[in-house]
Amino acid sequence: DAKTTQPTSMDCAEGRAANLPCNHSTISGNEYVYWYRQIHSQGPQYIIHGLKNNETNEMASLIITEDRKSSTLILPHATLRDTAVYYCIVRVATGGGADGLTFGKGTHLIIQP
Amino acid sequence: DAGITQSPRHKVTETGTPVTLRCHQTENHRYMYWYRQDPGHGLRLIHYSYGVKDTDKGEVSDGYSVSRSKTEDFLLTLESATSSQTSVYFCAIKEGRVKNEQFFGPGTRLTVL
């Protein structure tokens, strides 16, 4: 799996858009970008994933650069409940495979009231 | 929460004693995983299962064994607990509709004195 680089921590004001960057310069053509988050003391939660097109769901948007070497997770209207550690994971989408996910240290996003 | 429960939720034990953690799921998922999380680190895969009696090692499997005698239960055993195994243990299942989307249980906090 390609290595990812994320800032250690970020602050964002409540109600503003939170933009979380991730660098994955060694990503391969068949690797997807996945985002998970972990709220304090809970298990990680899947947010979104994408290959090369921008993606949006009810939780967030994912913007992937054209060269696919970096991406940004956008929480459009951050709330205090979005305070969490956000993990960017790059891997092949082997839906039939059984191997696990590799979590780095992620970005600790703190939403300020 | 994809019907995942873990037991016990908290446990304190002494070095050298055997410990078994249980992960139970109610939705008949094929793939199940055990991760550990230590302060300042992301989750690391210990073992995983791709069916009844089918298991394999993950990144940090030394000192751990697993068993899956029925679909709904995945057991993690520490044959002789050591202080280095003090950690939070998360179980996960893979739902399959979204490749690599895993759902995590609430975690078990294990302290080995």
A80 touches chain B (CB under 8 A): no
Q: How many angstroms separate the CA atoms of A101 and A79, rounded?
A: 27
- Closest CA in chain B for residue A103: B42
Nearest to A46 among B45, B50, B102 (CB): B102
Distance from CA of A17 to the nearest CA of B (A): 25
Per-residue tens of pLDDT for chain B, all 113 residues: 568 999 999 999 999 999 999 999 998 898 999 999 998 778 999 999 989 999 999 989 999 999 999 999 999 999 999 999 999 999 999 876 666 688 999 999 999 99
At residue B87, what are phi and psi to the nearest 5 degrees? -175, 175
Contact A100 B56 (CB under 8 A): no
What string of DSSP letters covers A7-71? -SEEEEETTSPEEEEEE-TT--TTEEEEEEEE-TTS--EEEEEESSS-EE-SS-EEEE-TTSSEE
Chain A and chain B share a number of CB contacts under 8 A equal to: 70
Query: What per-residue confidence (pLDDT) applies to A2?
Result: 64
Can you give the pLDDT of all 113 residues of chain A as single tens digits?
668 999 999 999 999 999 999 999 999 888 899 999 999 889 999 999 999 989 999 999 999 999 999 999 999 999 999 999 999 999 876 555 566 788 888 999 999 99
Contact B99 A93 (CB under 8 A): yes
